[in-house]
Amino acid sequence: MGPEGKRLLNIIILGFGFMFMFTAFQTCGNIEQTVIKSFNSTEFHGSGYTSMAIIYGVFSASNLIAPSVVTLIGPQFSMFFSGLLYSGYIAMFIYPYTWTFYTASVLVGIGAAVLWTAQGNVLAINSSDRTIGRNSGIFWALLQFSLFFGNLYIYCAWHGHDHITDKDRRTVFISLTVISLVGCFLFFLIRKPEPPPSDTVKSLLGVTSALRSTVQACKMFTTREMLLLSVSIAYTGLELTFYSGVYGTSIGAMTRFGKDAKSLIGISGICIGVGEILGGGVFGLLNKSSRFGRNPVVLLGLIIHYLAFFLIFLNIANDAPLAPEAGTDLQAFITPSIGVALFCSFLLGLGDSCFNTQLLSIIGFTFRDNSAPAFAVFKFIQSIAAALAFFYSNYLLLQWQLLILVLLGFLGSTTFFMAEWAAEASRPQSDYDSI
C-alpha cells in the first residue's frame, strides 16, 4: 500500500473509532434524562440537562489547554485516554451516584476538548490540500452514522417498555460502554504517515504553534467576520441541545404515543441521523456547484427549522421536556402523531446540516490562513451556547425553548447573510466557484 493509501486508511480508522465512541456517547446523551427520571426518586438526584451543561461549559474552557496536552502525549494517546473518560461517563450509569455523575461530567468536558483537538491533528497530518475535503467528508459521514446504530439498539431494547427498569438500564449501558471502549482501542491501529507532498496541510500542533493559536483565537474573536458568524454558531449550539437531548426526552414523555413512547427516542435519533447525512451530502456538494453562495442553503435551513418548530409546537405537550418519569397526559393543539414527531426529527437533522456545512465552509474559506484558531473559536462559541441551553432546559417549558430558537435562528441567519456578502465582495469570482 502506497503512502496515499496508508493516509486514507488512517482517516477511515479514525472515522470508525469516532463512530463507535459516539454511537455510545450520543445515544447516552439522548436517553440519559429519560433514564434518570426512572430512578430519580432514590438516592440519586442528578439532572441530565445539568450534566450536559457542565460538559459543554468545561469543554469550551478546556480548549485553551487541549493543544498542550496533545503536544505532550501525542494525538493517538490523547484520543485513547479521552475515550476512556467518555467510556467512564457511560459506565457510571450502571451503578449511578450523584457525585460520580457530575464528576464524570467535568472529566468528559476536559476529555472532549483534547479528543477533538487530537482528531483535527490526525486529520491534518493525513491530508493534503487536494485531499482535505475528501477526508473531512469521509470522517464526517462515518461520525454521523453513529446516530443510526445506537438509537436502533435503544428502539429494539426498549420496544414495548413503558418503564425503564434497573435491569434494562444496566443492560443498555454495559453494552454502550463496551462499544465505546472498542472505539478507543481502534485508535491504536492508526499509523504515523510518511511526510506528505509539498502541499500538505501542516500539523496543527506544537508548543509554539499552540500558544500562537491561542493568541490568534482571542484576536480573531473580535474581528467583524467572526462577530457576525458568532450568532449563527451560537444558534447551532442551542439547536444541538434541542435535538440531541430535549426533543427526544419530550417524545419519550408523551404518554399519548402509547407504551412504545420510550422506544421512540431511538427512532427519533435515527431520523435525525438520516436528515444529517442527507443534508451533509447534498449541501456539501452545493458548495462546489452553486454560484449563488451559501445564503440560499442557510435560508433553506432556517425555513426547514421553522417548519419543524411549528409542527413540534402543535404536536408535543408544552410540559413534555420537564415531565416526570410517568410522562405527561397533556395534549398540544392537535392529536399527537408519531409520524409528525418523527418527521420533525428528520427536519431537525436536515436543517442542522444546512447550517453546519455552510458555517464550516465560510469559516474555512474566510480564515483559511489561520484555520486552527478559527475553528477553536467556533467550538468555543458553540459549546458555551450548548451549555447555556442545557442549563435553561431544566426550567423552561417547550414553548419558551422554541421561541428562543426561533428568535436566535432569525438573528443568526441575518448575520450570516451579512458575513457571506462581505466574503463575496472580498474575493474574485474564480475563487468563489472553487469552494
Confidence class for position 133, pLDDT limits 50, 70, 90 = low
The reply to whether 223-422 shares the fold of 1-191 is yes
pLDDT at 202: 46
Contact status, residue 349 vs residue 275, Cβ threshold 8 Å: yes
Contact status, residue 191 vs residue 6, Cβ threshold 8 Å: yes
Contact status, residue 340 vs residue 266, Cβ threshold 8 Å: no
Domain boundaries in the chain? Answer: 1-191, 223-422
The C-alpha cell at 277 is 447525512
Mean pLDDT value of segment 341-364: 86
pLDDT at 134: 67
Greater model confidence, 256 or 126: 126
In this structure, whether the domain defined by 1-191 belongs to CATH 3.40.50.300 is answered with no
Distance CA(251)–CA(409), nearest Å, equals 23
Given a cut of 60, is residue 201 above it in pLDDT? Answer: no
Query: Position of cell 462581505?
Result: 422
Confidence class for position 300, pLDDT limits 50, 70, 90 = very high
Given a cut of 90, is residue 376 above it in pLDDT? Answer: no
What is the rounded end-to-end Cα distance, in angstroms, of the chain? 31
CB neighbours of 282 closer than 8 A, spacing ≥ 6? Answer: none
pLDDT one-digit tens code per residue, 174-193:
999 999 999 999 999 988 77
Given a cut of 50, is residue 152 above it in pLDDT? Answer: yes
pLDDT at 214: 62
The C-alpha cell at 380 is 468555543
Confidence class for position 205, pLDDT limits 50, 70, 90 = very low
Q: Please report, rounded to a whole number, the percentage of residues in the chain having pLDDT higher than 70.
A: 82
Closest by alpha carbon to 203, among 130, 128, 115? 128
pLDDT at 187: 92
CA 407 remoteness from chain centre: 21
Residue 337 amino acid letter: S
Q: What is the dihedral of CA 90, 96, 97, 98, to 10 degrees?
A: 60
Greater model confidence, 128 or 342: 342
CB neighbours of 260 closer than 8 A, spacing ≥ 6? Answer: 159, 160
pLDDT at 150: 79
Mean pLDDT, the chain, rounded, equals: 81
Give the CATH superfamily of 223-422.
MFS general substrate transporter like domains (1.20.1250.20)
pLDDT one-digit tens code per residue, 209-268:
556 656 666 777 778 888 999 999 999 999 988 988 889 888 877 877 776 677 788 888
Query: Position of cell 439547536?
Result: 239
pLDDT one-digit tens code per residue, 29-39:
877 877 887 77
